[in-house]
Structure 1
Amino acid sequence: MPVYQNEKNQTWFVKCYYKDWQGVNRPHTKRGFKKKSDAQNYEREFKLKKAHSTDMKFDEFIEIYERDCLARLKLNTNLTKKYLIEDKILPYFKLKKLNEIKPADVIEWQNTLLAYRNAEGESYSPTYLKTIHNQLSAIFNYACRYYNLPDNPARKAGNMGKERTKEMKFWTKEEYLKFSETVMDKTIIYVAFEILYWCGIRLGELLALTPADFAFETDTLSITKSYQRLQGNDYITEPKTKKSVRKIKMPHFLSEEVENYIQALYKIDKNERIFQLTKSKLHHEMSRGCKLSGVKRIRLHDLRHSHVSLLIELGFTPLAIAERVGHESIDITYRYAHLFPTKGAEIANKLDAEKEEAMSYVSKK
């Protein structure tokens, strides 16, 4: 029997063997159990995990999922997924055996979330509900792929909620210029918004910028990192995707503005962040600028949409735009086509003109 008692302190311990991923027998010991039954339960659960069996409780599988899957994700993604799991999924499924969870259980869980109302009587948004369900489905998919779970009950139950369908908001060049005039009284804010609008970079990319990222002799900006503040700590990470690592040619006026701004910073190191700002501070300044200028309120990320819309209006190709803003796929760039409802009318007018020209040519013959 692999469960033993320590005669000195009367606690129990487990001593057993398991096969690792190469099929080699390995010893395993776990001490400090107050009860024999606790040690036996631990032994059983440990062997189930090592045998890749789905005959374990859901919360035990989540430990495996977080260790093998979530740990490989970026910190902010990891924390977001862990929150969803611990707050919205585990409370309902944790004591159920993984291989005994049925589509009906998932539907009952969905109904609980759909019925939720906070103190103000507000429900979860359709987008949030879909995000939660997708996370549960991802867990079962992982169990199907690596732990031989027969099927995914979340997929059989069907999704809830829906994808975000909100229209992208953006500023025209005239709206941005009107806004920027109102924030010129704060140089750091003005320069930050200038880079966001005229370069189309992400907020995390902006906040990670250092003097070393600029080559003013060639008006070039290098994007190689991103900044995040998580759980009260600052993190410099890789950019969002591989394509996000890029060099951006700045308009010369912007290059001069940034160079003058950096030169005014007192003894700044070449690898020190030039924008010691928080996201909430920029949100506040955007609200202030919108109120003073009278332009419509958009999100900080919508400045990126505004840059893309400007480039489309100027006639640049989707490929050139994708390379500049760091889209992982050109398909992402094509999603911006709806930003210009007048384009459809322009196309129709040109087709009308083409037909008239063709008919005129035919009639002459």
Structure 2
Amino acid sequence: MRRRISTKLKYLSQSGHFPSGNPRLYMGPKGAKRVPMPDAPVDHPMFLSAYAKALASITGADGIDLRLPAPKGSIKDAAQSLLRSDYWRDVLREGTKARRRPEYDRIIEAYGQADLRTLKPEHIRADLKGLKPHARNNRLKVWRSLMKFATEAYSLPSNPALAVAKTQTKKTDGHASWTQADVEKFRKHWPLDSAPRLAFELIYWTGARISDAIKLGPVNVSRDGFLIFCQGKTGAEAYPPFDMGVSPLADQYSSDLHLLHQAIQRRPSRHLTYMTTAQGSSRSVKAASQWLAEKARDAGIEGKTAHGLRKRRTELLIEAGATRDQVKGWIGHESDSMVSLYAKKFDRKRALIGTDRERQSSKFSEKFQQKDEKP
């Protein structure tokens, strides 16, 4: 017996039933010609094939309804223009586009036919109502981006999204950094030939974001012994050492680098990327993040994420005496203030330790101070 699956398909409307008992469905958004669907359950391969064919006939290659009516001056018209613009194609980073695109699609589907000139701040506030603070601010950011583009492209008198205030959020340190005890606990639980251990060692050593770590592989290793990659979020390159002897900092943590190489050598199969599924496929960002957090919990580590490993590596570099530029080169931080923050935290801890060796370098964090920072 074929297993039923839960299926959510857009643009379906029902008009009675077939003699078989199946619903008589038609596919088509409001204002477009509807296409009759076959006499089959919605999760049947025949139905899904027909649905995909009908959807392809009314959508563009980028997945939005480019061939459906988009009245001039409508929200949908503006969104489609933005998605075709040089700004979208050449200016925004891939990570930003990946985060914003689903929100643009949602806005198109929910409000696409509305006239841009009738959009008011209260309409945007209504759309944001009920969202949690960070989700609300993220969606507001998308509205502001869209309406900034529309204001210039359609000569609107003002950007209504600017009149909507952001939600104040509690300042936190974000993802908790891993402790040395966490690191040892994870390593004890997961053997070197396991996928979780390889993922851990890779992120722990490189300090890469999970979105970049899933793309790393042998192709990123340079001839001079670095693991070079361009960060998806910022576009800046990172240069964590990959071979012994290429950096004094790497030599200070040679045991970590040695464990990474062991984990790579012991992986059961070879692929273009180091982090893969059991089937050999590359992992997605969201799935990889949730997967690694789950593996940490399996090892008895609660509340720690892949990004916490990035923080830990930054802390270790600071503790090893790395300069600001060395930290930025390894981790890929673009902001001097971010490195300065880590340096200040470590300098406070060092002051409390109070050993002769620590006191000799008590001005360590001064070299991280920004020029415009007051003493």
TM bucket by the smaller chain? 0.5 to 0.7
Q: 1:158 aligns with which of 157, 164, 168?
A: 164
8 A contact 1:173–1:310 mirrored in 2: no
**SS in structure 2 of the partner of residue 248 of structure 1:** coil
**SS in structure 2 of the partner of residue 148 of structure 1:** coil
Distance 2:350 2:154 in 1: 51
**Distance change (3 Å), C-alpha of 1:159 and 1:338:** farther
Q: 2:124 aligns with which of 101, 105, 109?
A: 109
Q: 2:76 aligns with which of 47, 59, 82?
A: 59
State the one-letter code of the partner of 2:81: I
8 A contact 1:221–1:248 mirrored in 2: yes
Q: Percent identity?
A: 20
1:244 paired to 2:237: yes
**Distance change (3 Å), C-alpha of 1:111 and 1:335:** farther
8 A contact 2:137–2:167 mirrored in 1: yes
Which of the pair has more CA radius of gyration? 1
**Distance change (3 Å), C-alpha of 1:62 and 1:172:** same
**Distance change (3 Å), C-alpha of 1:126 and 1:341:** farther
Q: 2:97 aligns with which of 78, 103, 110?
A: 78
8 A contact 2:205–2:260 mirrored in 1: no
Distance 1:61 1:281 in 2: 34
Report the Cα offset of residue 214 of structure 1: 3.8
Report the Cα offset of residue 145 of structure 1: 3.5
**SS in structure 2 of the partner of residue 221 of structure 1:** coil
Report the Cα offset of residue 266 of structure 1: 6.5
State the one-letter code of the partner of 1:91: A
Report the Cα offset of residue 150 of structure 1: 2.5
**Distance change (3 Å), C-alpha of 1:311 and 1:137:** same
Q: How does 1:1-365 map to 2 (within 5 A)?
A: 56-68=73-85, 69-72=87-90, 73-74=92-93, 77-88=96-107, 91-92=110-111, 94-101=112-119, 105-114=120-129, 116=130, 124-155=131-162, 157-162=163-168, 165-168=171-174, 169-184=176-191, 186-214=193-221, 220-224=225-229, 239-248=232-241, 250=250, 251-264=253-266, 268=270, 272-277=272-277, 278=283, 280=287, 283-293=290-300, 295-336=301-342, 342-343=348-349, 346=352
Distance 1:343 1:333 in 2: 16
8 A contact 2:238–2:330 mirrored in 1: no
Cα deviation code 1:135-172 (max 9, x no counterpart): 111122123334432321211x2323245733231122
- Which one has the bigger strand percentage? 1
Distance 1:337 1:135 in 2: 34
Distance 2:274 2:134 in 1: 35
Structure 2, unaligned stretches of length 5 or more? 1-68, 243-249, 278-282, 360-375
**Distance change (3 Å), C-alpha of 1:211 and 1:65:** closer
Report the Cα offset of residue 256 of structure 1: 3.5
- Which one has the bigger helix percentage? 1
TM-score of the superposition, structure 1-length normalised?
0.61
Cα deviation code 1:84-129 (max 9, x no counterpart): 123257624x33332343xxx2224313532x3xxxxxxx210111
Number of aligned residue pairs: give it: 270
Report the Cα offset of residue 75 of structure 1: 5.1
**Distance change (3 Å), C-alpha of 1:196 and 1:137:** same
**SS in structure 1 of the partner of residue 236 of structure 2:** helix
